[in-house]
């Protein structure tokens, strides 16, 4: 685990581990637009939270058929059986190119942070959004995520990245050392 000063008032913690075990006020789910569960971190969060999470997701209003959370936006639900009291569901882009995908990935991080601040939360934990099935290159995603967190940390006290596997953890640590 490594700790950095992200802003004057907000700490950045980068750790290797399982996001579903995080005791932050919110954990962020790398969801899909339907918000009815999926594979990867989404499936792990739903298994750990219990079936009430899927029910809460189903109650989120659709903005158009089969879309509850458009790519780049975020929605909040309770965390149910998780240690985190809230789940912030966001949808990152399927990677196409740096030019096309970066604005959407930035927007996913920014929307998640804004929801945390609006709900008066102090701490939030992210996975590497879009870096699994959605194919976003780690070396592009890591600096983008950290810059966006620094710009939109607001009154948050702690932003955490909980990353699966040594390689992903190393890329985020290197990006943090470079940026901060």
- Count residues contacting ligand ADP (CB under 6 A)? 20
Specify the 3-state DSSP secondary structure of 17: coil
Q: Are 105 and 130 in contact (CB under 8 A)?
A: yes
* Contact status: 37 vs ligand ADP (CB under 6 A): no
Toward ligand ADP, which CB reaches closer, 39 or 155?
A: 39
Contact set for ligand ADP, span 133-152 (CB under 6 A): 133-134
Q: Which residues on adjacent β-strands are paired with residue 53? A: none
Stretch that binds ligand ADP, among 1-9, 17-25, 71-79, 98-106 (CB under 6 A): 17-25
Minimum CB separation from ligand ADP for residue 122, in Å?
Answer: 21
Stretch that binds ligand ADP, among 37-45, 97-105, 112-120, 151-159 (CB under 6 A): 37-45
Which residue in the set 105, 113, 128, 146 belongs to the binding site for ligand ADP (CB under 6 A)? 128
Stretch that binds ligand ADP, among 69-77, 78-86, 140-148, 160-168 (CB under 6 A): 160-168
Residues 6 or more apart whose CB falls under 8 angstroms from that of 137 comprise 95, 131
Q: Is 60 exposed, middle or buried (0-12, 13-18, 19+ CB in 10 A)?
A: middle
* Contact status: 159 vs ligand ADP (CB under 6 A): no
Toward ligand ADP, which CB reaches closer, 13 or 162?
A: 162
Specify the 3-state DSSP secondary structure of 107: helix
The DSSP output letter for 66 is T
Helix H or strand E segment including 98:
helix 98-118
Q: Are 20 and 8 in contact (CB under 8 A)?
A: no
Task: Please choose, from the candidates 172, 78, 71, 73, the residue with its C-alpha nearest in 3D space to the C-alpha of residue 121.
Answer: 78
Contact positions vs ligand ADP (CB under 6 A)? 18-20, 30, 40-42, 44, 92, 127-134, 162, 164, 168
* Active centre residues (catalytic): 42
């Amino acid at each position: 685990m490594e700790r950095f000063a992200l802003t004057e008032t907000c700490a950045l913690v980068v750790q290797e581990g399982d996001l579903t075990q995080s005791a932050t006020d919110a954990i962020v789910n790398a969801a899909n637009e339907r918000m009815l569960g999926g594979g990867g971190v989404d499936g792990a969060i739903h298994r750990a939270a219990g079936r009430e999470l899927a029910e809460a997701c189903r109650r989120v209003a659709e903005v158009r058929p089969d879309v509850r959370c458009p790519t780049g936006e975020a929605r909040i639900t309770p965390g149910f059986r998780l240690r985190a009291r809230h789940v912030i569901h966001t949808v990152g882009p399927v990677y196409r190119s740096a030019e096309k995908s970066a604005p959407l990935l930035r927007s996913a991080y920014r929307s998640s942070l804004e929801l945390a601040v609006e709900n008066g939360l102090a701490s939030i934990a992210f996975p590497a959004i879009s870096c699994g099935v959605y194919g976003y290159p780690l070396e592009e995603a890591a600096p983008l995520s950290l810059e966006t967190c620094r710009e939109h940390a607001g009154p948050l006290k702690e932003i955490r990245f909980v990353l699966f596997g040594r390689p992903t953890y190393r890329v985020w640590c290197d990006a943090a050392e470079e940026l901060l």
